Amino acid sequence: MIGIDIGGCNLVSVRVSEEEITLFKKPATMGIESLSKEIKPYMEKERVVVTTSLPINLLVSKFEEMRTLTLIIPGPGLNYSKYGFILKGYVNHRGDVVEKIDEEEVRKILEREKFQNVAIASKFSVRNPSLEEEVRKIVREKIGDKRIALSYYVGGLNYPARINTTVINA
């Protein structure tokens, strides 16, 4: 994903990939074309969003400091373990709950890990968010509600993109 902020002093773009965060910055006096040349190789392959300075500055300055616990509910199929902790339970592509959450599993992870924020992402939560909501209730008992992000608010069926956006939102 590429975020673009066109401000008064600077034109800033941040590329967020699974491996790294890359910052592109040009003085506003150089014009948008100067920034476009740098990000052009990525623009056709990745999602481009227009954003404000706040999320871009947060990503650039605090990314390494953020401790976000990512709880993934993918169900069977592809291995999503690189994104976070895999939880039991899943919703199928029609929105049916096929396997319920193991509440004790969630509580054990919360006790074991150090974190400031929690991102919760269930594969087909845009069809049925009930598993994400169940996990949120458990997490809320420990940290309250302010630092929890759920992927179904993001929308769309692109699960990896939804996971990443939810982590940023957390």
Q: Is the pLDDT of residue 13 over 90?
A: no
Instruction: Answer positive or negative: Cα dihedral of 94, 96, 99, 105.
Output: positive
Domain boundaries, the chain: 2-62, 68-169
pLDDT tens digits, residue range 128-143? Answer: 999 999 999 999 998 8
In the beta sheet, which residues pair with residue 150? Answer: 120
Would you state the pLDDT for residue 54?
66
- pLDDT tier at 111, thresholds 50, 70, 90: very high
Give the helix/strand (H/E) hosting 81.
none
Alpha-carbon gap, residue 24 to 123, rounded angstroms: 32
Count of other CB atoms within 10 angstroms of residue 146: 7
Alpha-carbon gap, residue 161 to 167, rounded angstroms: 10
In the beta sheet, which residues pair with residue 27? Answer: 10
What is the pTM assigned to this prediction? 0.65
